[in-house]
Amino acid sequence: MGIQPSLAPTKFRMYLTRVKTAIMSDIFITIRNQNDNAMTSVDGMAFVAILKQDGSIVDRKLVGLRFADAQFPNMPPGQYTAIAFHESVNPPSASQEVTLLASELLDVRFQYLEPERQLLRVIVQHIPFDMTDL
């Protein structure tokens, strides 16, 4: 037995309210070269993306082979440390302190000079989830 037609809009509104008030957010750690192209590996070994909170490792992942990124979904708001690790680049471990807000996507981009294997810069971008149309 399905939802009665008269109750469907109410249940749908309740679902949308839950979605709108969700406080979870996503963190992406991406690796790029000086031309902003995906840089998945060096010497055939993939970069490792590490996410820490309060000094403890929350999760670690190899970056994806297509986009050189690692997604850490459904993270609660708070202070985090995003780390890009590869033993063949300088420095082998680069980190960035970030603050994750509610209902946003946080992209932490580590950009390297590929021929020199040297960290060039770290770019942090906050992208709010737009749920105004729901």
pLDDT tens for each residue of 12-71: 344 344 444 456 799 999 999 999 999 999 999 999 999 999 999 999 999 999 999 999
Phi then psi dihedrals of residue 17, to 5 deg = -60, -40
Class of CATH domain 24-128: mainly beta
The pLDDT value recorded for residue 132 is 61
The pLDDT value recorded for residue 17 is 44
Residue 81 and residue 36: Cα distance in Å, rounded? 22
Tokens describing residue 71: 């997604």
Predicted model pTM? 0.80
Tokens describing residue 134: 């729901």
Residue ranges per structural domain of the chain: 24-128
Alpha helices for 29-133 (secondary structure H): none
Instruction: Count, in order, helices (H) and strands (E) of the chain.
Output: 1, 10
Tokens describing residue 103: 């209902």
